[in-house]
Structure 1
Amino acid sequence: MLHWFSDNRFPLYLAPMAGVTDVIFRQICKELGADVMVTEFVSAEGIMQADDRTRKYTEFTDGQRPVGVQLFGADGERMGEAARKIIDWKRPDFIDINFGCPVNKVVSRNGGSSLLKDCPVLASVASGVAKAVGDQVPVTAKMRIGWDENSVNAVEVAKILEDCGMQAIAVHGRTRAQGYGGEANWDVIDAVARAVKVPVIGNGDIHCGADLVKRKSETAVSGVMIGRAAMQNPWVFREAKHFLETGEVLPEVAVEERWALVLRHCRLAVDSGRNGNERQTLTAMRSRLMAYCKGFPGAKELRQMLCQVSSVAQVEDLAAWSLQKHLVLAEL
């Protein structure tokens, strides 16, 4: 049922990231070559309470397919009911279960990566969702390699998830204790991919086409998932695919094209009205804008100014200032 793995394809997933992979950013990444989308994680309890704010996180367009909605929680029966509600609202291509989030507010509610320490509950959650959904859509899971370096249990957990009906497993090669520090352990990801029969998607430290080719050739994964690298450089999907197909490194994306995308993202966000008015939307986007602008001419000064933007017009002014600075530097 996961047709994006057929014909020996090697799909590139956009990793789900809270506060980042909203419907607009997913649209941008899809246009730039991402194959499979996963929504920001949503609370199963929020879905069950018919909370409008939670429901907004499940939004997607048909142009983003294949797309999965990611759920977190610790009650398999309730999560199964929530999954059915989501399918009734707007049939996604799959339901994904979050067993990897390291954030305290999720872990403290016995969700995300906390379940890596409690395999019986993890199994009840996975089987509960799979049974509730039946054959309506596939159910997949995303996990980390373990809680900490002393409890790396990814192979054991993956086998449990496969037995519980998960049809693919994404593995982030860090422990919960690592957060996003240190290096992803691709040896463990590879061991997981060799231990189960379902497709395994490797996640962690994929920044360019060479990283993609290395992991495709040296491990048994069936695809890769790109997260933080896409925040700064959503062109990474296009670049990685081109390198995979040709062995050529595409020229660096011009500053002008980068700014055009930044401004388009801002305008789409304001038009969508997800965060209320223009000021609220741009305030919420400040960290995103700073990520986009890493490496721009005058980046340090630019980031300081981006911390204060509250309108698209202000971002347009900063773009004009940055591009002028770029032209001056180019003439030196």
Structure 2
Amino acid sequence: MTPSQVLAEWGPAAGLLAAPAALPAQTDGLNLKSRFRLKPFLMAPMAGVSDAAYRTMARAGGAGLAYTEMVSCAGLHYGGEKTWELVEPAETEPDIAVQLFGSKPELFREAAASVCERLGNRLALIDINMACPVPKVTKKGEGSALLDNPELAASLVQACIEGSGAQVPVTAKIRRGRRMGEEVAPEFARAMEAAGASAIAVHGRFANQLYHGEADWGCVSRVVKAVSVPVIGSGDVSSAQAGARMLAETGASAVMVARGSYGNPWIFRDAAALRLGESPAPHDAREKIAAFRCHVRLLSATGANLKRARSLAGWYLRGMPEAARLRGMAVTCLTLEDYLAVADEAERMLCDAE
């Protein structure tokens, strides 16, 4: 089956839209503002997670935009087709945001030109990762290490704009700062705006916090006040309620959802409903099992490594009868049929428990 056929057949049972609604390609910061006003809840870039199947589930679940996992500019230059697999959208995706990382302006210029040429009007924006706190990235001066070097960071923004011919928005994702107690986000965001960034995404933790502690949403508000371009808030959006609250409390134009979307592709649509004062319908166990089936079938249809479905099983089947046993079954799965058998077992145990 093709991804479109999978989504059409299994999406309704999973409480998903039959196909994600297309939005026009965006070409400048003003259009990003308009886009975010319509659909402000976005699927964040997540390493090892944000593949085409995951993005498709998120868009079908109401996400206004979905990002690739971070893609190395050097990988696109030297790695060829293997790296391009991270960038190519599935047929089910109306458009995508491509997140690049690195530290060399010439490679960003080349990568931006290549991505624009290859994706055409299915490229919504190019985002530059200036937030990743992982040591293997920062030791090369990439990711959140750029927070210590705003001049270099600005040159990367400018290189992407030049490489893209100013045909798509170029944005930056940053953190509160590199080290605890040293907030640089508002000033750094101003420098990125001056370099030409069309939007700034800010995660409310310091880089050396990694993902521990609480994200400071006040930092998002301070960045909103510091710049005139759209600001995307990020950090601790673990539920639809949190997403709607971040949007209301910070003044951000949009909100990125990362781990809150694990096993919950509906979080985007639910947050949008709460934003409008509506009560989203609950998602019962059968809907979650159907979503797991749909997601695994999408992995298969997009040619992804099916080992990724082992994590999906843990996320979608959490809280169900004998969830630990189901997870144990999933970690031995090798084929699509193996994973569908886990879903069948989950449904059988659910019937027994009723």
Normalised by the length of structure 2, the TM-score is 0.86
2:286 corresponds in structure 1 to 256
1:118-197 matches, within 5 Å, as: 118-197=149-228
1:277 corresponds in structure 2 to none
- 1:282 partner SS: coil
2:62 maps to a residue whose letter is G
- 2:248 partner SS: helix
Normalised by the length of structure 1, the TM-score is 0.91
1:295 corresponds in structure 2 to 319
Picking from 49, 54, 69, the partner of 2:83 is 54
1:93-104 matches, within 5 Å, as: 93-104=124-135
2:34 corresponds in structure 1 to 6
Tell me whether 1:117 sits opposite 2:148 in the alignment. yes
- Between stretches 181-190 and 257-266, larger displacement belongs to 257-266
| Cα distance in structure 1, aligned partners of 2:246 and 2:94 | 25
User: How much has 1:180 moved relative to structure 2?
Assistant: 1.5
1:106 corresponds in structure 2 to 137
1:313 maps to a residue whose letter is E
Instruction: Tell me if structure 1 keeps the 8 A contact 2:47–2:70.
Output: yes
- Between stretches 44-53 and 242-251, larger displacement belongs to 242-251
1:121-179 deviation digits (Å, cap 9, x = unpaired): 22222222223323211101111111121322111110111011000011111111111
User: How much has 1:9 moved relative to structure 2?
Assistant: 3.3
Instruction: Tell me if structure 2 keeps the 8 A contact 1:263–1:312.
Output: no
Instruction: Tell me if structure 1 keeps the 8 A contact 2:205–2:215.
Output: yes
Q: 1:60 to 1:130 in 2, by over 3 A?
A: same
Percent of aligned positions that are identical: 34
Which structure has more RCO (C-alpha within 8 Å, separation ≥ 6)? 2
| Cα distance in structure 2, aligned partners of 1:271 and 1:217 | 38
User: How much has 1:285 moved relative to structure 2?
Assistant: 2.8
1:265-291 deviation digits (Å, cap 9, x = unpaired): 2222123223xxxxxx33243223222
User: How much has 1:107 moved relative to structure 2?
Assistant: 1.7
| Cα distance in structure 2, aligned partners of 1:197 and 1:88 | 29
Q: 1:189 to 1:44 in 2, by over 3 A?
A: same
| Cα distance in structure 1, aligned partners of 2:34 and 2:92 | 20
1:5 maps to a residue whose letter is K
| Cα distance in structure 2, aligned partners of 1:68 and 1:80 | 17
User: How much has 1:50 moved relative to structure 2?
Assistant: 5.3
| Cα distance in structure 1, aligned partners of 2:39 and 2:130 | 23
Unaligned runs of 5+ residues in structure 2 are: 1-27
1:198 corresponds in structure 2 to 229
- 1:260 partner SS: helix
- Between stretches 92-101 and 282-291, larger displacement belongs to 282-291
| Cα distance in structure 2, aligned partners of 1:62 and 1:12 | 22
Instruction: Tell me if structure 2 keeps the 8 A contact 1:77–1:129.
Output: no
| Cα distance in structure 1, aligned partners of 2:142 and 2:119 | 24
1:201-221 deviation digits (Å, cap 9, x = unpaired): 001122333223322222221
Q: How many residues align?
A: 323
| Cα distance in structure 1, aligned partners of 2:291 and 2:248 | 32
- 1:201 partner SS: strand
1:278 corresponds in structure 2 to none
User: How much has 1:61 moved relative to structure 2?
Assistant: 4.0
Instruction: Tell me if structure 2 keeps the 8 A contact 1:99–1:113.
Output: yes
* Deviant stretches of 4+, over 4 Å: none
Picking from 336, 341, 350, the partner of 1:312 is 336
- 2:38 partner SS: coil
1:80 corresponds in structure 2 to 109
User: How much has 1:72 moved relative to structure 2?
Assistant: 0.3
| Cα distance in structure 2, aligned partners of 1:182 and 1:163 | 31
1:208 corresponds in structure 2 to 239
- Between stretches 2-11 and 225-234, larger displacement belongs to 2-11
Instruction: Tell me if structure 2 keeps the 8 A contact 1:37–1:65.
Output: no
2:276 corresponds in structure 1 to 245
Q: 1:10 to 1:238 in 2, by over 3 A?
A: closer
2:23 corresponds in structure 1 to none
1:154 maps to a residue whose letter is A
Picking from 246, 259, 269, the partner of 2:299 is 269
Unaligned runs of 5+ residues in structure 1 are: 275-280
Instruction: Tell me if structure 1 keeps the 8 A contact 2:215–2:236.
Output: yes
Instruction: Tell me if structure 1 keeps the 8 A contact 2:90–2:302.
Output: no
2:97 maps to a residue whose letter is G
- 1:38 partner SS: coil
